[in-house]
Structure 1
Amino acid sequence: MKNKFTLLLKSSSLIALFILAISFQTANAQEEDKFSFDVSLNSDQFFGFYPFFQGNYKLSDNTAFTFYGILWSGGTGGAWGNWTEFGVGLNFDVADGVSVNPQIGILGGNLLSSGTFGSGRFGDGVVPNLTIGLDKAKTEGQIYAGFYAPLRNEAPPSGTTLSYLHYWANFGYKASDFFSFGGHFEHLINTGGSNVSASTDVYQWLGPYVQFTKPGGGPYARFSFGTDLVEGNDSFFKLTTGFSF
């Protein structure tokens, strides 16, 4: 009788441990499903080469905490005091396939605070920004707007601070799970500074894009190209490749 009781106790313990292990794995899987991460490598003729990452952690079915970073210093930004951008925000799924993501970023470098080349500093500027995303069965798109404002004035007596408005919009058609195409418009405006009295267009790009994506998610590549509408400029090209985790 004692042996049977001992065997029953051991069996019950093993079953309990098995149930706990399954429960832990299920909870861990559910926690992992809340988190997503994208990394991309970008290149265009103004900013040069710049890696970008963004993360998303679900707080509820329709809300998520977001964070992002841009390593502008990979290209021209290296001369702007190792220019770097990092920000956080909240993403809201407002309709089927439509999301709204307000964020605020902070800059390291010296482009905005001094407008000159030299050593970088944390708190070069602040970037309130908004992204609206579209991802449906047959259509895709994005609208972005960000204002780059200096947080302080480090410009020499003959220099100036700088501020910028950067926005774009694109819309495309998913011809298949592998291939999509569409149009891209992007505008960068130097909106002024401590010694800048009027805003000027830096570039104004307009043209098509093509994108190739692994069906089911993962790696993707997009190439955008076309004309620059600013007088004196010629054309534009932007190449992006990345991976969604």
Structure 2
Amino acid sequence: MSRLLLLSPLLLFLGLAYLLPLSGVMLQSVTTPEPGLQNYSAALGDPLVWSVIWRTLRVCLCVTVLAVVLAYPLTLLWLKGNTATRVLVELAIMIPFWLSVLSRAFGWLSLLSNRGLINSWLQSLGIIAEPLTMVRNEFGVVIGMMHFLIPFAVFPLASAMRSVDDRVILAARGMGASRMRIFWQIFVPMTKSGIVGAALLVFVFSLGFYIVPTLLGGGRSVMIAELIYLRIFQIPNWGLAAALSALLMVSIGAFLVALIKRAGVSTT
């Protein structure tokens, strides 16, 4: 009872900060402009909405895979490297948290645009004759989102790697296993929980991205969060926007529940 009393201020704050706006969105999705489920039927029957949904899933899956794959060796260097390497990697992980999403997006825009630094260097070196199109498409969106989300993938991986028993690695070496075999057949399977946790965290975060796809996509790679914004402010349809928001939240919730159940079954 005492623990519940101590948690009650936090629970009250979370209820007011999250559940109250969420209930308002859910209510508006079935009451605006008139009561009914017409907003959901309009959303699910619109080919444009489905194209945005598939693009969002495609981009988020690509970002998740790349972020986890790149975060894995980065985490290994952070935990197993020498002192100088650990400090350097830790700075690389922590410094992005000190910069805003908007600043990082504009930084990538200045690097990847047709007149950006990368295209200018490649043209000055004679490697390319015409600038490469690296923004206003999914490539730029994936790069920007991946840069933002790699640090978030590091922490679940680091937690799993720290829990690996070094005696198992030493026993495998004593039995003559090569480093590559130890890595792929022992170390990676023992960090499976961290890989799943990192992928889950990155995928859920990426589903709600707005600033990076808007700036680096340039309106040509619209994702679900940007579509909701457009339906609220530029093509006002608050009921449809609320229905899209509700569908996104329900989909994320269902995905989390299914993944947690799957992980729970597989680990027992």
TM-score range, shorter chain: under 0.3
Larger Rg: 1
TM-score by length of 1: 0.23
Structure with the higher helix share, 1 or 2: 2
Of structures 1 and 2, the one scoring higher in RCO (CA 8 A, sep 6+) is: 2
Structure with the higher strand share, 1 or 2: 1
